[in-house]
Structure 1
Amino acid sequence: MKPILFTFRRCPYAIRARLAIKVSGVDVDMHEVSLRSKPQAMLDCSPKGTVPVLKLPHGAPLEQSLDIMHWALGQHDPEQWLSPDPAVQQQVQELIQQNDGPFKAYLDRYKYAERFPEHPAAYYRAQGAAILAQLDARIALHGFLCGEKPGLADMAIFPFVRQFAHVDKEWFYASEYKNLRAWLDQLLESSLFNSVMQK
C-alpha cells in the first residue's frame, strides 16, 4: 500500500508538502479533497480535519506540512533542499517560524480584512510587508533565502508569499520588493510548481 496524501490544491501548506514529495520522487497517492465535504477516510486518519495529511502504510499519520516535507526529503533529496550546515538549518527554522507565525496571521487578516474590522486591510498589508522587506533583503544577497539555489526555506515560504501577492497583484507588482518579486515569479514559473498545481 502506498502512502496517501490528502491535499487541497490551493492551500499553501498542502502546496509545500506536494513540492517536497514531487521533488523527492517518492511514490504517493494524491487525494484532492473538498474542504466542505471532507472524506471519511481522511477524518478517520486525522480527526482534526485539516490538510495536508499523509497516511502512511505503517505508523501514525503525518499531520504537519513541514513533517511531510522532511519525511519526503529524508528519503531522497536530489536538489539538496536540506542543508547540512547547522547555521543554515537555524536560519531556515527561524524563517519558517516567522512565516508560519506572524506572517500567516497578517496574511489572513489582509486577505479577509472584513472579518477583522479593528483595522483596514492596508494596515494588515503593511504588517506583512515588513516581513516581505526582510525576505527581499535576503534574496538580494544571494538570489534565494539561504543561498544561491532554492532550499527548504524558499519552498516552504513561497506558497504563502504567492497568496499574499494574489490579494492585490497590482500593489504587489508595483511594490519596492523587486528581488522578492523576481524570486516569486521564478518559483511560480518552475516546472516543479506547475506540476503540483495541475487539476
Structure 2
Amino acid sequence: MSALPVLYSFRRCPYAMRARMALWAAGVTVELREVKLANKPPELIEASTKATVPVLDLGRGTIVDESIAVMRWALRQSDPEGWIAGDDAELLAEADGPFKHHLDRYKYPNRYESEPGFGQVDHQAEGLAILKRWDARLSKQGQLCRETRSLADIALFPFIRQFANHNRDWFDAQDLPHLHPWLAAHLSSPLFASIMPKFAPWQQGDGPVKFGPLPEN
C-alpha cells in the first residue's frame, strides 16, 4: 500500500474534477490512478463495488467513494480558503439532483429515449431554468455562497461546463450575465489548470504518480 492516499480518477469526469480541486486546494498529495472507464482496473472494483470515480483509498480499509465526501475529507485536513463555508446542502442537492438529471438527458438523449415521458420534457430548457436561478444568486455576490469561491462553486462549475459545452453557441447567447463571467473565471483559474494534466491510464505494475501542489522529494 502506498504511503499516500490513492485516488482513482478520470480526467474529464466532473465528479472527479471537483474531488481533485478540493484535494489540491487542501494541499493533499495523492497517488493518482487514472482510470479508463471502458477497462476499469480490478483494484478500483475491489476498493468500491460502485466502481465509479472518484474513489479515494486512505488505506487500512478506509474508502471514500462519493465526490462531495472526498471534498469534505480534504477540507478537514486543511481549508486555507475557508471553502467549507460554502457547503450548502440544498444547493448541492439541486446540482447533483435536478440539474444533473436534465444535463444527462440534454447531453445524451439516446440513452433515455425509452424512459417514460422522455419526449414530454425539454431538458435544455429545464437546465437553463436552474442556471437562471443560480445566475440570480450570483448577482448578489461574487460567488454562489459569498464573495470568494467556496465548496459550492468548485462542486458545481464542472457540471455547468458540461452543459455549456454541449452547444456552446446556444449557451453563450443565453441571458446569464453573472454566470457567464463566473464560469469563465473558474475555467481559466490556475486551480483548474493544475488539476487537468493528462495521464496515461494506470495499470498494475506502474510506478506511483504523485498528484498535488507539493513538490516531489
CA offsets per residue over residues 156-198 of structure 1, 9 Å max, x none?
A: 1111000000110001111101210110000000000011011
Unaligned runs of 5+ in 1: none
How does 1:158-173 map onto structure 2 within 5 Å?
Answer: 158-173=157-172
| Residues 1:107 and 2:103 are matched in the alignment | yes
Q: What is the one-letter code of the residue matched to 1:104?
A: K
User: What is the aligned partner in structure 2 of residue 135 from structure 1?
Assistant: 134
What secondary structure does 2:79 align onto? coil
**2:163 partner amino acid:** F
Does the residue aligned with 1:67 lie in a helix, a strand or coil? helix
| Amino acid across the alignment from 2:40 | K
2:201 is matched with none
Higher RCO (CA < 8 A, seq sep 6+): 2
Q: Deviations over 1:89-134 (max 9, x none)?
A: 5xx11100000001000000000123334328x8110011110001
Return the alpha-carbon distance in structure 2 between the equivalents of residues 137 and 30 of structure 1: 37
Question: Which residue matches 1:38?
Answer: 40
User: 1:38, 1:4 → 2: CA distance?
Assistant: 15
CA distance in structure 2 between the aligned counterparts of 1:127 and 1:179, rounded to whole angstroms:
19
- 1:59 Cα deviation from its structure 2 partner: 3.9
**Which residue in the other structure is 2:30 paired with?**
28
Task: Considering fraction of residues, name the structure with more helix.
Answer: 1
Larger Rg: 2
Instruction: Report the Cα distance in structure 2 between the residues aligned to 1:49 and 1:61, rounded to whole angstroms.
Output: 12
1:119 and 2:119 correspond: yes
Aligned length: 192
Residue in 2 aligned with 1:68? 70
Alpha-carbon distance in structure 2 between the residues aligned to 1:174 and 1:102:
23
Q: What TM-score comes out, normalization by structure 2 length?
A: 0.85
Cα distance in 2 for residues equivalent to 1:59 and 1:138: 41
For 2:128, what is the secondary structure of its paired residue?
A: helix
Deviation at 1:30, TM superposition (A): 1.0
2:89 to 71, 88, 93: 93
- Deviations 1:15-38 (CA, angstroms, capped at 9, x unpaired): 000000000111211111000000
2:204 matched to which residue of 1?
A: none
Percent identity between matched residues is 47
- 1:53 maps to what in 2? 55
